[in-house]
């Protein structure tokens, strides 16, 4: 059985979706821990209520990004992770940290990468006149929001959309897309070929 560690900074709604899918679908995995950089992250309460181990590594208690990442890595490795899942974890990670978890760390980003990396994705999509937006699950690499793409979900950008309405539509699809992609990883169904990710059983990697 594989150990999954989830990193959050707030509510962790994608973490909730993954925890629930793991339980209801009977994955050959367990959520070994939920780790946050925020002591008051609401997702920690959700995890504790379900008997999942939690840990907090407060980035403000460390003098540098490297020192924080070293402490974070120590906390994570205590749970022997096979897979590290970023679910609304709002910290940029150092190259050394990323290299330590290469090939087993994934993230979900609220845009159709490679478009709109970074923050304020929904506002930027609306301002650019996009007719579609979405979310991307990808492997994490040292370059922010540029790792090999595992799966994407597409939603329409509707007339009159605001950042909030578009964000809500995208987030609802993330809650379907992210658990599906994590289960593929648990089941060993993905192969990275250069910058592309192939599903070994040919399941659709685009959710529309």
What are the residue numbers of the active site?
A: 109
Contact 55, 77 (CB under 8 A): no
Residues 6+ apart with CB under 8 A from 150: 106, 137, 138, 139, 181, 184, 185, 190, 197, 205
Contact 85, 5 (CB under 8 A): yes
User: Residue 11: in which H helix or E strand, if any?
Assistant: none
Which one, of 8, 6, 74, lies nearest residue 39 by Cα?
Answer: 8
């Amino acid at each position: 059985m594989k150990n999954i560690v989830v990193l959050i900074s707030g509510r962790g709604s994608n973490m909730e979706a993954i925890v629930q899918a793991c339980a209801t679908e009977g994955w050959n995995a367990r959520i070994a821990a939920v780790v946050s950089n925020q002591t008051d992250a609401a997702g920690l309460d959700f995890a504790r209520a379900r008997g999942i181990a939690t840990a907090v590594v407060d980035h403000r208690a460390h003098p540098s990004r490297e020192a924080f990442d070293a402490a974070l890595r120590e906390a994570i490795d205590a749970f022997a992770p096979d897979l590290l899942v970023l679910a609304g974890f709002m910290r940029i990670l150092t190259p050394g940290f990323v290299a330590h978890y290469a090939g087993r760390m994934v993230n979900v980003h609220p845009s159709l990468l490679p478009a709109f990396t970074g923050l304020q994705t929904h506002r930027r999509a609306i301002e650019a006149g996009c007719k579609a937006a979405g979310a991307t699950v990808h492997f994490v690499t040292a370059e922010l929001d540029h790792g090999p793409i595992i799966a994407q979900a597409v939603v329409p950008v509707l007339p009159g959309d605001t950042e909030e309405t578009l964000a809500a539509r995208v987030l609802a699809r993330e809650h379907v897309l992210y658990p599906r992609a994590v289960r593929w990883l648990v089941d060993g169904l993905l192969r990275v070929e250069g910058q592309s990710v192939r599903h070994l059983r040919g399941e659709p990697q685009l959710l529309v």
